[in-house]
Amino acid sequence: MSDLSNPDTLPEPDPVDIVIEDERWLDVDLQGMAERAAAAATRHLGIDTVEIVVMGCDDTRIAALNDHFRGKAKPTNVLSWPSVEPAPRAPGEVPVPPDTDELGDIAISFDTCKAEAEAQGKPFADHVTHLLVHAILHLAGYDHEADADAETMEDAERSILASLGIPDPYREH
């Protein structure tokens, strides 16, 4: 039992808080996939402690978020909102991890993830884990706007996923 008066004995907060808006995420253990993705990604990034919020939703909700934040009124697989602006960097350079424990928020759509996994012949859990790793890298300052940055981000994704035994998501299937 923790002694609430002693901060050294307080339990560590869960690194990933899950908000479930679509009950189907409960049946596939979004919490477990998110914790696994966060552990592997933060290990790769050299970050000790993080806090991430992941919302498991459906296409209707993610389309509304995509429209509101990106002006694209259509569903997508995953969206992310970093807590801090990334530091400037040269094209292709690995970002400096943000100086905060709170990396940010992620929304992920069950409908789009399921359709993509089926269309690509990938296990659903592998596809979702890849998208969560991808989103966590965005929270840590990675992007894929320029070719050099996309290559850097994809290399990080491949390395992180390989550490989890997940095949290269960019290899032709």
Domain boundaries, the chain: 16-164
The fourth-level CATH superfamily of domain 16-164 is Metalloproteases ("zincins"), catalytic domain (3.40.390.30)
- 108 has which bridge partners? 56, 78
Burial of residue 41, with CB atoms counted within 10 A of its CB: 0-12 exposed, 13-18 middle, 19 or more buried? buried
Quickly count: other Cβ atoms within 10 Å of residue 68's Cβ: 10
User: pTM here?
Assistant: 0.91
Q: What is the pLDDT of residues 112-143, one digit of tens each?
A: 999 999 999 999 999 999 999 999 999 999 99
134 is in an annotated binding site: yes
144 is in an annotated binding site: yes
Q: What is the mean pLDDT of residues 81-108?
A: 93
In this predicted model, which residue has the larger pLDDT, 99 or 143?
143
In Å, how far are 10, 17, 144, 154, 171 from 29, measured between CA atoms?
A: 26, 13, 28, 25, 26
User: Residue 155: what pLDDT?
Assistant: 97
Question: Nearest CA to 80 among 152, 138, 130?
Answer: 138
- 54 has which bridge partners? 18, 106
